[in-house]
Structure 1
Amino acid sequence: MCMQGVLSLQKHFQAHENDILMMTPPKVGTTWLKAILFAIVNRKHHLDLQKHPLLTNNPHILVPYLDLHLYNKKEVPDLTSCPSPRLFSTHLPYTLLPTSVKNSRCKIVYLYRNPKDTFGVSNFGPYWDHILSYWKESLEKPQMILCLRYEELKEQPTAYLKRIAEFLGYPFSLEEETQGMINNLSRLCRFEYLSKLEVNKSGTTHNIKNESLFRRGEVEDWVNYLTPQMSEKLDDIFKEKFHGTGLTF
């Protein structure tokens, strides 16, 4: 976490009512979800998928981090030229979001996954606290915060693209569904497809190699790294932390 960017974001960012903010802990499918949100919201501007911005731009360019990229500078960024609706992201827990976001009616899409597939050191606080901060708010404000589980999104991508679009206020029309728009966008945003594009195999985005932004993305890959004893110990911790919340993995 870059403290300068967080403090500047909290102090200066003014949320718009139609903003769309994507929140995730690290390593839960952030790059993939950025592609999905951009494709859904901007689909009427990019009907020709052969010329889609995702083919020539890394998703992190199209949906920038507020705290790590836009506000992580000495000057306050000018966001007036950003197309509407504005699409931003951050790894921050809900407790650290700017007051303007918490008091607005902007939409928040949150993605999480089995903690064992994200096991590691995080600069954004304990994983379970991060999830619970958004989960509890989503129960109180379901019209403003949508919590998604990576495993379910990967298992039923088209169904969840439709659900996300409806939540954001950009539902697919019957005509779009009939023409296969949902399936087409799902294929365009597929992890396997995006990772093979030249723009994502070479070069860097914000000083990070693009290829490193596309990991394996496999469900239950933790079995290749954690022993049964380690897995059991983590399960006990998760049961304690998430007991009574309704969260399942």
Structure 2
Amino acid sequence: METTTFSSNGESVPRDEVQDLVAGLPGEKNWDGSPLYFYKGVWYPPSAIRGAISFRQHFIARDTDIILASMPKSGTTWLKALAFSVLNRSIYSPTESPLLTTPPHDLVRFFEVDLYSKHQLPDLEQLPSPRIFSSHSHYEAMPQSIRGSGCKIVYICRNPLDQLVSAFHFVRKLKGENVKPLSSIDEGLDNVCLGIRTFGPFWDSVLGYWKASLERPDKVLFLKYEDLKEDITFNLKKLAEFLGIPFTEKEEKDGVIEEISSLCSFDNLRNLEVNRSGAHPSGTPNSAFFRKAKVGDWCNDLPPSMAERFLKIVEEKLAGSGLSFKVTE
């Protein structure tokens, strides 16, 4: 007897439908030679494609949900720590935070490479509200139940040069079958410039959320990594207000914002034992999520001519949007 599941619209779906769909998707090669699958405008790696399809087909959002979105290596881990701490500050003080013993990616779990990659229909209904999740999918690739609901999306972006270099170093740390070791950042740059890379194109990711934040500012918050680095206090207050739980005068006076900022700082998180050992459910070492966290560090890896080429393409793609990036400190 054929096993069936049910999609978010109630229709029965053969369990092997996802595999059939993946087999028919356009494909390309990533930096390291591993396959990429093009689905709903996004290039997904093997670890995420099945999860991305199931997520889009089956996830049912609640108006109280919080979705943290990003391109990889854009400050995702930091945003998870900050949002979790702001959201749960009435439950956990910074000295009792689960962040001290649990990696941020285990506290705020990914849809594509975790929840829906393990189970086509994970049981998320048992989770109390507000539920908080994360995604690397583009805004247009999100399930309609998210885009049409009252849930809140926080998107963090990073300037394209630092994001590119950070992604390069991250990919070099991953070990997979039939994957070639990367020796130079210019390997596969032609594809990168076409937007063919994990969860790319970069410009489609940032533009989708940027436009959504302008159209629905009460539902989509657009943050820049460089702005958080420059003024974490201002942006933590902005985040708390957006989530509907602004810091009180007493909390500000008591230094709660500074405590959260310190708890979630790069140096503090990186040096916690839980982030120095162990691995993410995807198999990625927890330590791989922490590198330098510096603005403008791209110049140590990216030749000027390469940086100019890629930045020019990004600027052309973003032309007229009003979106720009700070690429140096």
Task: Give the TM bin, normalised by the shorter chain.
Answer: over 0.9
The residue that corresponds to 2:272 in the other structure is 197
Q: Give the greater-gyration-radius structure (CA).
A: 2
Alignment partner of 1:125 out of 200, 224, 232: 200
The residue that corresponds to 2:303 in the other structure is 227
Alpha-carbon distance change, 226 to 85 in structure 1, aligned in 2, over 3 angstroms: same
The residue that corresponds to 1:145 in the other structure is 220
| Inter-partner Cα distance in structure 2 for 1:226 and 1:208 | 25
| Inter-partner Cα distance in structure 2 for 1:238 and 1:41 | 34
Alignment partner of 2:253 out of 168, 178, 193: 178
Deviation, 1:239, is: 2.3
**Segments of 4+ moved more than 2 angstroms:** none
| Inter-partner Cα distance in structure 1 for 2:200 and 2:149 | 24
| Inter-partner Cα distance in structure 1 for 2:311 and 2:276 | 35
TM-score w.r.t. structure 1 length? Answer: 0.96
> 1:45 aligns to what SS in structure 2?
coil
Deviation, 1:43, is: 0.4
Deviation, 1:7, is: 1.4
Alignment partner of 1:66 out of 108, 111, 129: 111
| Inter-partner Cα distance in structure 2 for 1:123 and 1:228 | 23
Deviation, 1:58, is: 0.1
Deviation, 1:75, is: 4.2
Is the counterpart of residue 217 in structure 1 residue 310 in structure 2?
no
TM-score w.r.t. structure 2 length? Answer: 0.73
| Inter-partner Cα distance in structure 2 for 1:40 and 1:74 | 29
Is the counterpart of residue 166 in structure 1 residue 212 in structure 2?
no
1:146-187, CA deviations, whole angstroms, 9 ceiling, x for partnerless residues?
111100111111110000000110100111111111111010
How many corresponding residue pairs? 248
The residue that corresponds to 1:114 in the other structure is 159
The residue that corresponds to 1:248 in the other structure is 324
Is the counterpart of residue 135 in structure 1 residue 135 in structure 2?
no
> 1:239 aligns to what SS in structure 2?
helix
The residue that corresponds to 1:37 in the other structure is 83
Kept in 1, the 8 Å contact 2:136–2:199? The answer is yes
Q: Which has the larger helix fraction? A: 1
| Inter-partner Cα distance in structure 2 for 1:89 and 1:74 | 16
1:93 maps to amino acid: H
1:67-94, CA deviations, whole angstroms, 9 ceiling, x for partnerless residues?
2111113441111222321000010011
Deviation, 1:222, is: 0.6
1:99-151, CA deviations, whole angstroms, 9 ceiling, x for partnerless residues?
10010010000000110011255321210111101111111111110111100
> 2:118 aligns to what SS in structure 1?
coil
Deviation, 1:54, is: 0.5
Kept in 1, the 8 Å contact 2:275–2:287? The answer is yes
The residue that corresponds to 2:185 in the other structure is none
Deviation, 1:205, is: 1.7
2:99 maps to amino acid: L
**Identical aligned pairs, as a percentage?**
47
| Inter-partner Cα distance in structure 2 for 1:193 and 1:74 | 33
> 2:67 aligns to what SS in structure 1?
strand
Alpha-carbon distance change, 5 to 241 in structure 1, aligned in 2, over 3 angstroms: same
Is the counterpart of residue 51 in structure 1 residue 91 in structure 2?
no
Unpaired runs of 5+ residues, structure 2, are 1-43, 169-191
1:23 maps to amino acid: A
| Inter-partner Cα distance in structure 1 for 2:200 and 2:299 | 24
2:286 maps to amino acid: N
2:280 maps to amino acid: T
1:192-222, CA deviations, whole angstroms, 9 ceiling, x for partnerless residues?
1100000000111212111001121111111
1:14-68, CA deviations, whole angstroms, 9 ceiling, x for partnerless residues?
1000100000001111111100000000000002x22210000000000000121
Unpaired runs of 5+ residues, structure 1, are none
1:18 maps to amino acid: T
| Inter-partner Cα distance in structure 1 for 2:223 and 2:260 | 18
Kept in 1, the 8 Å contact 2:160–2:311? The answer is no
> 1:205 aligns to what SS in structure 2?
coil
> 2:155 aligns to what SS in structure 1?
strand
